[in-house]
Chains A and B, each alone.
Chain A
Amino acid sequence: MITHMGIPVSPGVAIGEALVLDQERIRIPRRFVSRDAVEEELERLRRAVDQVADDISQNRDLITAELGEQYGAIFAAHLAMLRDPTLQQSWERLIRQEYYSPEHAVSSTLRKYAAVFERMPQRYLAERAHDVLDLERSLLRRLLGLRREELTQINTPVVVLAHDLTPNETASLDRTKVLGFATEIGGAGGHVAIVARALEIPAIVGVGPFLAEVEPGDLVIVDGDSGQLILRPDPATREHYQQQADKARTLARGWERHCHEPALTLDQQHVQVHANIEFPREVEVCLERGADGIGLYRTEFLYLSGDHEPNEEEHFQAYREVAQRMAGRPVVIRTLDLGADKLGGSYADYQEPNPFLGLRSIRLSLRHMPLFRCQLRAILRASAYGNLRIMFPMIATVNELRRAKAVLADAQEDLAEQGVPFSWPIPVGIMIEVPAAVLMLDQLLPEVDFVSIGTNDLAQYVLAVDRSNREVADLYRETDPAVIRLIDTTVRQCQAHGKAVSLCGQMSANPLCTPLLIGLGLRALSVPPANIPEIKHVCRSVSAADCQKLAQRVLQMESAREVEHCLREELKKIRP
Chain B
Amino acid sequence: MAERTAIREVVVVDPHGLHLRAAHQLTARASRFASRIELINGAVRADAKSILSVMTLGAGLGTKLILRAEGDDAEEAVEAVARWFSDGFPEEDQLAEDSPSNTPPVSPPEGHSAS
Contact = CB atoms under 8 A, between A and B. Distances in A.
Interface string A290-314: 0000000000000000111100000
A120 B58 contact: yes
B24 A308 contact: no
Contact of A116 (B16, B22, B56, B101): B56
B92 to A, nearest CB: 11
A459 B14 CA distance: 37
Contacts of B60: 121-122, 125, 346
Interface stretch (B3-11, B68-76, B78-86, B102-110): B102-110
A571 interface: no
Contacts of A57: 98
B55 A117 contact: yes
B64 to A, nearest CB: 15
A86 B53 contact: yes
Interface residues of A, number: 38
Given A73-B21, A345-B17, A84 B50 contact: yes
Interface stretch (A74-82, A252-260, A481-489): A74-82
B81 to A, nearest CB: 16
A561 interface: no
A45 to B, nearest CB: 9
Contact of B19 (A50, A53, A121, A307): A307
Interface string A54-80: 000100000000000000011011011
Contacts of A309: 14-16
B89 interface: yes
A555 B1 CA distance: 88
A125 B58 contact: yes
> Which residue, A120, A122, A125, has most C-beta atoms of chain B within 10 A?
A125
Contacts of A132: 52
B14 A308 contact: yes
A84 B53 contact: yes
A310 to B, nearest CB: 11
B61 A113 contact: no
A113 to B, nearest CB: 5
Contacts of A73: 21, 24
Nearest to B63: A122
Given A53-B101, A308-B22, A125 B50 contact: no
Interface string B26-63: 01100000000000000000010111110110101100
Nearest to B93: A69
A50 B101 contact: yes
A29 interface: no
B98 A79 contact: yes
Contacts of A46: 101-102
A350 interface: no
Interface string A428-446: 0000000000000000000
5 smallest CB-CB distances across A and B, nearest first, come from: A85-B104, A345-B16, A86-B50, A77-B24, A346-B15
7 contacts: A85-B49, A88-B102, A113-B55, A307-B16, A308-B89, A309-B15, A345-B61
Given A89-B104, A117-B55, A308-B21, 7 more contacts: A80-B27, A85-B106, A86-B50, A307-B20, A309-B14, A345-B19, A345-B61
